[in-house]
Amino acid sequence: MTDRHLYDKHADTLVRALAAISERGYWSAYPESPSPRIYGEKAAAEGATAFQAYLDNRFPLDQPGTDGWIATEASPFGVELAVTYPHAEAGALVAAATAAMPAWRDAGPQVRAGVCLEILARLHAHVFELANAVQFTSGQAFVMAFQAGGAHALDRALEALAYAYAEMTRHPGEAEWEKPAGSKASAEPLRLLKRFHVVPRGIGLVVGCNTFPTWNSYPGLFASLVTGNPVIVKPHPRAVLPLAITVRYAREVLAEAGFDPNLVLLAPEAPGEALASTLAVRPEVKIIDYTGSTAFGEWLEENARQAVVYTEKAGVNTIVVDSTDDFAGMCRNIGFSLTLYSGQMCTTPQNVLVPAGGIGTDQGHKSFDEVAAGIAASVGKLTGDPARAVELTGAIVNDGVLDRLDEVKSIGEPVLDSRVVEHPAYEGAIVRTPAIVKLPADAEATYGKEWFGPISFVIATDSTAESLEIFRSTAGTRGAITASVYSTDDKVLDDAEAAALDVGVHLSCNLTGGVFVNQSAAFSDFHASGANPAANAALTDGAYVASRFRIVQSRRHTTS
């Protein structure tokens, strides 16, 4: 396959993406606003209609080895989904993916990049359809589902594609090698024609999560696919639809481009089947991308020995509060971060470390209790009006979050109790506001583990120095994706940065405006670092893509 018309069609996008990963400034290929001025007056309605057409129906996906149809999703908004998906056993999926690989490998980096860019363009054309699927399976409010599950997920996919393309093309495809052969002028030099082939490792397995089914899956999916590997997508049982839509349009584009659509396959699992575990240890599976619990992530790392395994697991994200010149802005910023998507983000802060003696602010000295109350008041303001609250909180994704909310009621001293909120649009939606609890510094057994969901702790420490040591300890032991510090003292900021470097956690300093610690911008921010227990890889850097292929060379003797 040598047709590169899709590469030519999207070359400008790829060139700009390659520049963006080098410059690290702001750039986005896919507008994050669902405004009709950008996407057209009919786009939102058409996307909603397309989403509705999936409900209570068989999903339109023709895959090999289908032995039945399964439905496993339950919407956090209480909407009846009842979408059924084609099920196949692991061997059938592996066989189909293996057969599809040779032609895809031989097509070369440019052709593969062009096809993958066309898949992204096709998904972008259906971004409202995708956003609805993300919303009603993950519990995200619509705007967040459109941004994180649609536009930002596509940006992250393009970012991974750009890194992979750069790694695959950093050397020439062939070179003429000539070495002098002896001292005589008449001696013919030694000549070889050397060819360097990008060879995929094998089948990629993407294991999706419930909370961010596209954002967390797209980087691995597209990094593996563009480097020549077929990909089996194993979605979370409660969030199948967003990845099913993704697989549908990917297969459509692959077939149109003349490739076997089985380069991308959906692998929904029946209840209790543990399909991810079965696929993960297949000898043909050479790459695994996983986001989810620490327990299964560690199982993959220990047992999938034949594969390169990329995991993002649980962590304990921390804010160190030392002082601030904008107390109101600090409280608003932290409060928003705790409220967004009910804390069901791997980047949401959990532990807020504050000196027991209080802090200096632009409003004068604030006691520990006043700092806690200021953050709680910000959360309360954001969640006071149900109609406004649900557009930030979304809905609770699973019963485990509710169980933790019940458990935390008997822990520490409450600063803000979680409340039940009635969703004005979806009667069956499960909505809870954040809970904030005060704890002493010696309660490490409690705050030293992840409490995934709308739960945070304000922890009284002896000093900022102790706060930084607690941060080092929890991040070093449990891992973290994000950290934040507030201080008017440059030395404290430097000390916090040094601590963050020691434990490999990305740090944000003095955020008081419209940028929040739990946001991560493609092409500029690295998501996770791979340098602490919360994740063994970063989204996205060279290390994330380079091991998905190998270079194999051939040499031929030539006389001229």
In DSSP notation, 180-233 reads: --SS-TTPPPEEEEEEEEEEE-SEEEEE--SSSTTTTTHHHHHHHHHTT--EEE
CA 396 to mean position of chain CA atoms: 19
Taking the C-alpha atoms of residue 272 and residue 269, their distance in angstroms, rounded to an integer, is: 8
- Is the predicted pLDDT of residue 103 greater than 70, yes or no? yes
Per the CB < 8 A criterion, the answer to whether 10 and 117 are in contact is: yes
Question: Lowest mean pLDDT: which of 1-10, 401-410, 433-442, 471-480?
Answer: 1-10
> What is the structure's pLDDT at 1?
42
Per-residue pLDDT band at 502 (split at 50, 70, 90): very high
Q: What is the DSSP letter of 354?
A: E
CA 240 to mean position of chain CA atoms: 16
Give mean pLDDT, residues 149-164: 98
- Is the predicted pLDDT of residue 436 greater than 90, yes or no? yes
- Is the predicted pLDDT of residue 183 greater than 80, yes or no? no
What residues pair up with 416 in beta bridges, in sequence order?
Answer: 436
- Is the predicted pLDDT of residue 2 greater than 60, yes or no? no
344 backbone dihedrals φ, ψ, rounded to 5°: -90, 45
Q: Helices 386-393 & 368-383, crossing angle to 10 degrees?
A: 100
- CATH architecture for segment(s) 5-181+188-312+541-557: 3-Layer(aba) Sandwich (3.40)
Cβ-Cβ contacts under 8 Å for 42 (sequence gap 6 or more) = none
Q: What is the pLDDT of residues 65-79, one digit of tens each?
A: 999 999 999 999 999
> What is the structure's pLDDT at 187?
81
> What is the structure's pLDDT at 261?
98
Minimal CA–CA distance to 536: which of 200, 289, 351, 318?
289
> What is the structure's pLDDT at 316?
98
> What is the structure's pLDDT at 181?
82
Domain 318-509 fold is: Aldehyde Dehydrogenase; Chain A, domain 2 (3.40.309)
Q: Alpha helix (H) ranges present in 126-188?
A: 127-138, 142-146, 152-168
- Is the predicted pLDDT of residue 10 greater than 50, yes or no? yes
- Is the predicted pLDDT of residue 101 greater than 50, yes or no? yes
> What is the structure's pLDDT at 188?
86
Name the residue type at position 79: V
Q: Helices 241-256 & 90-125, crossing angle to 10 degrees?
A: 90
Q: Measuring CA to CA, how many Å separate 322 from each of 93, 373, 480?
A: 54, 16, 20
Long-range contacts of 528-533 (CB under 8 A, 24+ apart): 528/312, 528/481, 529/504, 529/505, 530/504, 531/503, 531/504, 531/505, 532/315, 532/475, 532/476, 532/479, 532/480, 532/503, 532/504, 532/505, 533/294, 533/313, 533/315, 533/477, 533/478, 533/479
pTM assigned to the model: 0.96
- Is the predicted pLDDT of residue 440 greater than 80, yes or no? yes
Taking the C-alpha atoms of residue 483 and residue 234, their distance in angstroms, rounded to an integer, is: 31
Taking the C-alpha atoms of residue 460 and residue 467, their distance in angstroms, rounded to an integer, is: 9
- Averaged pLDDT of the chain: 97
Q: What is the pLDDT of residues 399-420, one digit of tens each?
A: 999 999 999 999 999 999 999 9
Q: Where in the chain is the domain with CATH 3.40.605.10?
A: 5-181+188-312+541-557
Per the CB < 8 A criterion, the answer to whether 310 and 288 are in contact is: yes
321 backbone dihedrals φ, ψ, rounded to 5°: -105, 115
Taking the C-alpha atoms of residue 106 and residue 91, their distance in angstroms, rounded to an integer, is: 24
Buried b (16+ CB within 10 A) or exposed e, 320-337: bbbbbebbebbbbbbbbb
Residue 383, token pair as written in the block:
């969640």
pLDDT above 90: percentage of residues in the chain: 97
Per-residue pLDDT band at 96 (split at 50, 70, 90): very high
3-state secondary structure of 30: coil
Taking the C-alpha atoms of residue 132 and residue 145, their distance in angstroms, rounded to an integer, is: 7
Q: What is the pLDDT of residues 217-268, one digit of tens each?
A: 999 999 999 999 999 999 999 999 999 999 999 999 999 999 999 999 999 9
Q: Where in the chain is the domain with CATH 3.40.309.10?
A: 318-509
